[in-house]
Chain A
């Protein structure tokens, strides 16, 4: 089945306001930025967000007021900002409803979702404020139907009575969006480098949008199935979006655009500068292709990874 759509078609068909949603990638690596910018352009909002290790992707969404509830473990463009500024501001001012879990907990909750488990027992978070403090109270949770009523519950290990463990809810994802190096029209995906939690959310979510650096034929991607990690039937839409992770990095393809991440980090310090940034880079360009034109070809090719390194090393230019 042919699943190739334009970015605009894929987002309007498979992302809905109010969805339980999760993005792939890790802070500044393989974040589906092109899709995030298109979601902003289409005005979609009220998301229940299962943010894995997030960065500017979710910081922008929060800054634009699109997040109804934020399930989080980490938000920063690590190495660029110590904490994402719109996220910090929104929470400090009481404008963001959020729940803290440890990163391990979030990653295992998403993995549990991929396994179809009813709940998830862990030894994590005990003895910490992650269990003592609830960001979203039971009362508030009852008003958000897509959130479980409890952050967690303590249970007794049925196989070792007396041992207390933490039972975590398993998210029911409506939508997952991931950016990969190669995808075929039928939805088969090949991820190079660390897959992070991307395969888990691709299996768990009802609708999965894949943006890709290279669109390759169904025959080509099957030449070496050991390199593939997502089968066709887990994917709803395939979008060809070269540099779709920009300004984050993409293993074997391009590095992060550190000046751009810095520009965002600076701009996001104030509401005015943040608005100017998103007006310029998100709402200004009408399509992903317009965005690439705006950023500029020489800037983008300057980010190309050096074969054998996996990033844009300066070593060879010495």
Chain B
């Protein structure tokens, strides 16, 4: 009998993502953890959610785990295969119509206290230490949709000032988005890391610790955050249900495309 109580931080992260998604929401997913989380949400926590991807595929229900947002595994069995520009137009129109249905997952290499995310390069932009893939659809998503940001929680990634803003968050505080001409009723809702959940203060729009995992603690989060973070509101989060872990390992990502199962 396999052991499903030995969950990893990545699995905890995926389960946390899944619990964020609500019935009726349209979820912009990429690949990796967000896809695992969203697939789990569709099975367990919010069966009425619908998945879309930036390549233009609408209401996806992949049977096998796709490796890219343009993968045939996403294409097959979706409702509509729109060209990418239709997705972009849809995203903007959701905002123009004041619809609040979209929730999106983005990732990054660096984040600042206001939820601005860098997924472009580390170091000087013109002479980078490390150059990444490029922005992909993340900038448009961060402009028009509420986001949940996926990060690895390390001091060198949680910085007061990041090297490049790929996806705007609250810029420098409550008026930041308005000053820049960005939709003011959109922005990052939450940061999900391998140590816990960060949310943004309603008044200051600064990140605070909202919840930590059984494997973590407020002290641990402070130690691994490169800026001052308020932990006074943090609550301890429950360990994931073993049945949910079984589902991830046996049904959602059996090939371990994105989540490695710990070896006995």
Contacts and interface: CB of A to CB of B under 8 A. Distances in A.
A binds B: yes
A79 interface: yes
A74 B181 contact: no
Interface residues of B, number: 60
Interface string A176-206: 0000000000000000011111011000000
B81 A78 contact: no
Given A103-B135, A103-B140, A78 B67 contact: yes
Contact of A127 (B63, B85, B165): B165
Contacts of A194: 55-57, 70, 75, 81-84
A200 B86 CA distance: 12
A129 B127 CA distance: 15
Interface in A45-91: 53, 72-76, 78-80, 82-84, 87-88, 91
B85 A200 contact: yes
Contacts of A197: 83-85
A100 B76 contact: no
Nearest to B32: A79
A127 B181 contact: yes
B83 A196 contact: yes
Given A74-B133, A103-B54, A311-B64, A127 B70 contact: no
A26 B70 contact: yes
Contacts of A104: 88, 91, 137, 139-140
B68 A28 contact: yes
Question: Chain A CB within 10 Å — which of B71, B132, B171, B180 has the most?
Answer: B71
Nearest to B83: A195
Interface string B134-148: 111111101110000
Contact of B76 (A28, A108, A310): A310
A130 B143 CA distance: 12
B71 A249 contact: yes
A255 interface: yes
Size bracket, chain A contacts: 35 or more
B13 interface: no
A128 B133 contact: no
B77 to A, nearest CB: 8
A87 B133 CA distance: 9
A29 interface: yes
B189 interface: no
B55 A196 contact: yes
B72 interface: yes
A309 B136 contact: no
A129 B72 contact: no
Interface in B132-181: 132-140, 142-144, 164-168, 171, 176-177, 180-181
B139 A255 contact: no
B130 interface: yes
Nearest to B162: A129
B31 interface: yes
Interface stretch (A11-19, A118-126, A232-240, A292-300): A118-126
Interface in A103-141: 103-105, 107-108, 111, 123-130, 132-133, 135
B132 A83 contact: yes
B131 A88 contact: yes
A129 B70 contact: no
A312 B136 CA distance: 26
A264 interface: no
A158 to B, nearest CB: 15
Given A28-B67, A53-B70, A100 B135 contact: yes
A57 to B, nearest CB: 13
A33 interface: no
B29 to A, nearest CB: 13
B165 A128 contact: yes
Interface of B: 31, 54-57, 63-64, 66-73, 75-77, 81-85, 88, 91-92, 118, 120, 125-140, 142-144, 164-168, 171, 176-177, 180-183, 257
Given A132-B165, A194-B82, 15 more contacts: A27-B70, A29-B71, A53-B136, A74-B133, A79-B257, A100-B134, A103-B136, A103-B139, A105-B140, A127-B181, A128-B165, A130-B139, A305-B72, A311-B73, A315-B63
| Nearest 9 interchain pairs by C-beta | A79-B67, A127-B180, A310-B76, A26-B70, A78-B68, A102-B139, A104-B140, A127-B168, A311-B72
Interface of A: 25-29, 53, 72-76, 78-80, 82-84, 87-88, 91-92, 94, 100-105, 107-108, 111, 123-130, 132-133, 135, 163-165, 193-197, 199-200, 249, 251, 255, 305, 309-311, 313-315
